[in-house]
Amino acid sequence: HIAMAGLSDYFSADALENPNATHVVTGIMWGANVAATFEQVVENLEEVQKVEGSLSAVLKSLPISGEAKFDLQNKDKFKFEKLQISLSGNILIDECP
């Protein structure tokens, strides 16, 4: 991460005097891309359909925002006991949720 105070080291007011300049950055928006992969080993087609339905319901209930926190109720936990979730993205996190 770059602190705002450290950014001034990379900017020069003299660059505006350069007649060959083609672009000016007026703002920086920070964002992130993250992908989640869900894996669960199942025994038969019936289990596949149950897992798909349960996982689909949970994913649809997640808020789409800068923060995704949710808590499964006890009755839903048994469905995901052997579920592996892998996260990959272009950000660093302090701890895996």
Distance CA 39, CA 82 (A): 8
Average the pLDDT over 71-79 and give the result.
Answer: 54
pLDDT tens by residue, 34-72: 788 888 888 888 888 888 888 788 778 776 665 555 555
- pTM across the whole model: 0.44
* Nearest alpha carbon to residue 58 among 67, 46, 71, 48: 71
Residue ranges of domains in the chain: 4-89
Predicted confidence (pLDDT) at residue 26 exceeds the cutoff of 80: no
40, 50 contact by CB (below 8 A): no
Please state, in angstroms and rounded to a whole number, the distance separating the CA atoms of residues 89 and 35: 6
The token pair at 68 is: 């995704």
